[in-house]
Amino acid sequence: MNESKRKYDVVIIGSGPAGLTAGIYAVRAGLKAVVASGDQPGGQLTITAVVENYPGFPNGIGGIKLMMDMQKQVENLGGEIKQGIVKKILKIQKNFGVKLKNNGILETKTVIVATGSKARWLGIEKEKELIGRGVSGCATCDGMFFGDKVVAVTGGGNTACEEAVFLSRFAKKVYLIHRRNELRATKIEQKRVFENKKIEVVWSTEVKELLGDEKLEKIKIVNNKTGKERIIEIDGLFVAIGSDPATKFLTGLVEMEKTGHIKVGVDKKYSTMTSVDGIFGAGDCVNNAYKQGIVAAGMGCKAALDMERWLKE
C-alpha cells in the first residue's frame, strides 16, 4: 500500500519505553496505531546490559530483552511497528502527515512524540572519525571486542559506571575518567565501581585529545584543577557523558524548553499535550529530571490516555 494512503488514529514516534507503552494503551483503546521505531529501535534501554530497577523482574532483565518483549506486546495486541526515521511532521488539513526519511508519509489524526534522547559526544577533534575504530558510545554493543585490552570510560553518572563495570568483564583494565571529584551515580553503582579491582577512577580530569590515525591508540587527559597533562595508551574510549533530547525535527512546530525538551501541559486539561493540538509528548524528550525507563513508560501511558480523550471531544 502507498504510504501516503495509510491513515491512522495515532502515529507514535519512538520505540523506547514511552513509545511502546503508548502503543499498548492506544491499541487497547481500539485505535489504529503505528509506532515508528526511529534510528535506535528499543531506545536507550537496549544499551543497558541488565535492567535491575524495572518492577516485576526480581533478578533483573536484559535491556534488549525487555524492549523486544514490549514491542511484541504491541504487535500481539494488533499494533503496527514500522522501521523508519521521522524527518518532520506536516499539517494536512485537520490531520498530520508524519514524513519518513524514505519520503513516505503516514497520515494520522494525532501524534505522540516519544523520541527520547541521543548520546552526547565530547566534541573534540578526531572523535567522529574514530567512532567504530576505538571510540564508542555503547559498551553493551562493542565491549566484547575489547577482550584483554585497556579501555577508558568518560563520565560520572549511572551509565558511565554501568559501562565501566560491564567492560571489566572483557578488558584487563578500565579507566573511569570523571571531570568532578565525586560520581553522580547511585550509591549501588558507585559501590560496584569502587569494589572492582580492574577499574581505576581518574578524578577531576577531562579527555582533551584523541591520538591515532587508523584507530585510537592513546588519549591525552588533563586534570582540571592542576592543569597537569597525561597521555594514556588505550584501545577503546567509551563516551558516557549524558544525552540531549532528540527533538530537532520539531523545531518551529511545537514550543520547546531552552534545553531542547518539548514543552507539554500548555493546555492544562491535557498534561502531555504540546503547544499544537493533537501532538503529545512523552519520555526523555519531554522530561529532563528523571531519565528512567519506568518514568518514560508512565508518561507514555499518560500521553495515550490524553490522546484518546482528546479524540473523543
Tens digit of pLDDT per residue, the chain (313 long)? 344 456 999 999 999 999 999 999 999 999 999 999 988 899 888 888 889 999 999 999 999 999 999 999 999 999 999 998 999 999 998 999 999 998 799 999 999 999 999 889 999 999 999 999 999 998 988 999 999 999 999 999 999 999 999 999 999 999 999 999 999 999 999 999 999 999 999 999 999 999 998 999 999 999 999 999 999 999 999 999 999 999 999 999 999 999 999 999 988 899 999 999 999 999 999 987 888 999 999 999 999 999 999 999 8
Q: Are strands 243-245 and 117-119 parallel, antiparallel or unpaired?
A: antiparallel
pLDDT of residue 5: 55
Q: Which of 39, 69, 141, 213 is catalytic?
A: 141
C-alpha cell at 248: 530537532
* Pair 36, 116: CB distance under 8 Å: no
Let me know if 235 is a catalytic residue: no
Q: Which of 138, 161, 235, 306 is catalytic?
A: 138
Query: Which domains, from first to last, does the chain contain?
Result: 3-118+244-312 (3.50.50.60), 135-239 (3.50.50.60)
pLDDT of residue 2: 46
Residue of 123, 116, 112 lying closest to 280 (CA atoms) = 112
288: phi then psi, degrees, rounded to nearest 5: -105, 0
Cα–Cα distance measured from residue 33 to residue 12, given in angstroms and rounded to the nearest whole number: 7
Let me know if 301 is a catalytic residue: no
Question: Which run of H or E residues covers position 90?
Answer: strand 86-92
pLDDT of residue 1: 38
The letter for the amino acid at 276 is V
Q: Which of 142, 235, 284, 306 is catalytic?
A: 142
DSSP H helices, 53-198, are 63-76, 139-142, 158-167, 187-194
Let me know if 138 is a catalytic residue: yes
The residues near 121 (Cβ < 8 Å, ≥ 6 apart) are: 127, 128, 137, 239, 241
